[in-house]
Chains A and B, each alone.
Chain A
């Protein structure tokens, strides 16, 4: 049962425009979400997080929005740059077994390509 889903496998945008990456979740008890970025041949790196008590968190060009009623979050990148081309994963706490112990459950990932 996929608790966190990213339904768009890929996204292509022009440099300078906005990139919007989407993520849906099923467990309304999630109390935080994270976004990770992954370049080829490297491990994922943490990008930005949001607590469930907030509906927006901003860090420079990156903003994450949380819509709890729709169980949906999105990552906005403005303006997009070619160096942002990577795979983006959303993640939430993995509470399987009752306690997360810090475990995360990841979405399938979205490949972002930013064209110069």
Chain B
């Protein structure tokens, strides 16, 4: 099993360009997530998909769109890239979306995409 895969690993864009970050998981997980990691900020949730066919905004959704293409794939699109979107982007997946109280929902992360917007 490859787990969670992300493409590309690195990308440099000019301001105003668009691109799509791809994510796929082969663990038959229901839920998928997109995060960005910035120095001193930890991991911040951009969008998530609790199950196939649903998507919702996280903490920092502005400037992004997502598509849950099927159960395996969850893509993140930057329509008009800005320098503030320079970051490392991580996709994650988990088996459950919530669940009984006092259970934890382990998320499995991909290796990340390092994006620079000039």
A residues neighboring B (CB under 8 Å): 4, 6, 9, 31-32, 34, 41-46, 49, 51-53, 89, 91, 93-94, 96-97, 99-109
Contacts and interface: CB of A to CB of B under 8 A. Distances in A.
A94 B59 CA distance: 10
A15 to B, nearest CB: 27
B104 A32 contact: yes
Contacts of A104: 43, 45, 105, 107
Interface in B80-118: 90, 92, 94, 96-99, 101-112
Interface residues of B, number: 34
Interface string B2-24: 00100000000000000000000
Best-buried of A91, A93, A94, A101 by chain B (most CB within 10 Å) = A101
Nearest to B9: A41
Contacts of A94: 45, 58-59
A26 to B, nearest CB: 15
Contacts of B106: 34, 46, 49
A32 B40 contact: no
A101 B90 contact: no
Contacts of A105: 45, 59
B107 A51 contact: no
B59 A96 contact: yes
Contacts of A53: 102
19 contacts: A31-B102, A32-B103, A32-B104, A34-B104, A34-B106, A43-B111, A44-B109, A45-B109, A46-B107, A52-B102, A89-B43, A93-B105, A100-B98, A102-B97, A102-B98, A102-B107, A105-B59, A106-B43, A107-B42
